[in-house]
Structure 1
Amino acid sequence: MRLVDANSNGGNNLQRGSIVLRQPRAGDAEARFNLGQDPTIIRMFGKDPTALPPWTRESASAWVAEIQHHPSAWIIEYEGALAGSIRLNNVNLLDKKARLGIGLAHHEQLGQGIGRGAISLLLDHAFGPMGLHRVHLRVIEYNTRAIRCYEACGFRREGIERESARVGTEWHDDILMAKLAQDHR
């Protein structure tokens, strides 16, 4: 991993190979708009794709603005193109922990190692410069691709939150997973 030049809003970009975690820049809202709202991806987030409002340029701009104003969020860029976002939510520096959130924008990006590479970069940053002890996440039970990715990145299952996600008219469990600093490399 290498730190790339800091951008205008002071954030550091992280890069390994063709995967870059970076701050938003001009053109990202249009790139995100063009990727649309992939129903397959939306369902893997634990949401009902039929219940979403239409995807607009304003929606894409709001998506970019949310990343820009989040203290620990990055655009995922793969081979020079916007692929999604990754973030550390609820960063607690006293307890040295945070919650990982990641989302690729389109199903055609799955299975290429983008998510795994982005998570690896973020964990290097979280357990390195940030000095965190624990990174945890939750994932809906039927998102087996994501669960395999998290396990490959060293996350361990810690529990199940029963019927905590309602997708359409059906209830689903959330799988709780975490990785500790001593388990990272």
Structure 2
Amino acid sequence: MNRAARFLTGERVYLRPINAEDAEWYYHQLFGSETRRLTGTQKIYTKEQIERYVLKKADDASAVLLLIALNENDETIGDIAIQDIDPMNRNANIRIAVSEEHRQGKGYGREALRLMLEYGFGILNLHRIELEVYSYNNRALHMYEGLGFTKEGVRREALYYNHEYHDIITMSLLEKEYRQKFPSEGQKRSN
């Protein structure tokens, strides 16, 4: 069921605002073992905490939280957010999770990221978008590099997950780098 208007639409996925009725889905997706590992999620949340989080994000001017859904059947498969938006310096960070494990590795996350990057650089007028990725998430590292993100630094052994320490890699993308890699997006905007 399509519960909300399509905010950003791609070929295979669209991004839509999260609504109060999505709290149940959001709560359950937090318990997938692979999703927890890839996002480094360690804390356990209650449904009430998730409901409060969803309502709080709706009023947060420094963040844009959207759900990722498939065009073909409106199935919600993950979430994506631009957050900690700093309008003075035109910086923000981005995060994404394709939490439906049978949908991972199929290019949906890449398409959702392209939609959100275009929104961040084109509509929010951001100059720089950064992210963090765990050293064991090779698929995500490869995808981010393919989108033009550059490794900036490593926080050595900063994540303790599943009885082991892991590095956290910081990456960023500047608007000019994004436009050089994907010039057609900027041209579409100006036409």
In the alignment, structure 1 residue 125 sits paired with structure 2 residue 119: yes
Q: Is the 8 A contact 1:86 1:100 kept in 2?
A: yes
**CA-CA distance at 1:181 after TM superposition:** 0.5
Deviations 1:42-64 (A, max 9, x none): 0111234xxx53x7654653454
Whether 1:101 and 2:95 are equivalent positions in the alignment is yes
Per mean C-alpha deviation after superposition, the further-off stretch among 58-67 and 32-41 is 58-67
1:68 matched residue in structure 2? 58
CA distance in 2 between partners of 1:177 and 1:25 (Å): 30
TM-score by length of structure 1 reads: 0.81
- The partner residue of 2:143 within 138, 146, 149 is 149
Distance 1:38 1:94, change over 3 A: same
Change (3 A) 1:112 1:66: farther
User: How much has 1:36 moved relative to structure 2?
Assistant: 5.7
Instruction: Judge which range, 62-71 or 12-21, deviates more.
Output: 62-71
What is the identity, as a one-letter code, of the residue corresponding to 2:127?
A: H
Aligned letter for 1:149? Answer: M
Residues 1:178 and 2:172 are matched in the alignment:
yes
Distance, in Å, in 2 between the alignment partners of 1:126 and 1:56 is 31
Distance 2:7 2:141 in 1: 26
Structure 1 ranges of 4+ moved more than 6 A = none
Q: Unpaired segments of 5 or more residues in structure 1?
A: 1-5
Q: Matches of residues 30-45 of structure 1 in structure 2 within 5 Å?
A: 30-33=24-27, 35=29, 37-45=31-39
Is 2:132–2:171's contact at 8 Å kept on the other side of the alignment? yes
Check whether the contact 1:37–1:106 (CA below 8 A) recurs between aligned residues.
no
The residue matched to 2:18 in structure 1 has which SS?
A: coil
Q: Residues 30 and 36 of structure 2 are in contact (CA less than 8 Å); yes or no, is this contact kept in structure 1?
A: no
Determine what percentage of the aligned residue pairs are the same residue. Answer: 29
Contact 1:140–1:172 under 8 Å retained in 2: yes
Is residue 44–residue 140 contact of structure 1 (8 Å, CA) maintained in 2?
Answer: yes
- The answer to whether structure 1 residue 162 and structure 2 residue 156 are counterparts is yes
For 1:11-90, what aligned pairs fall within 5 Å after superposition?
13-25=7-19, 27-33=21-27, 35=29, 37-48=31-42, 52-53=43-44, 57-58=47-48, 61-62=51-52, 64-71=54-61, 72-79=64-71, 80-90=74-84
Question: Are residues 33 and 85 of structure 1, via their aligned partners in 2, closer, same or farther at CA, if it must alter by over 3 Å?
Answer: same
Q: Which is richer in helix?
A: 2
Structure 1 pair 39–97 and aligned structure 2 pair: CA distance change class (3 A)? same
How far is the alpha carbon of 1:21 from its aligned partner? 1.2
Contact 2:20 2:54 in 1 (8 A): no
Ranges in structure 2 where 5+ consecutive residues have no aligned partner: 183-191
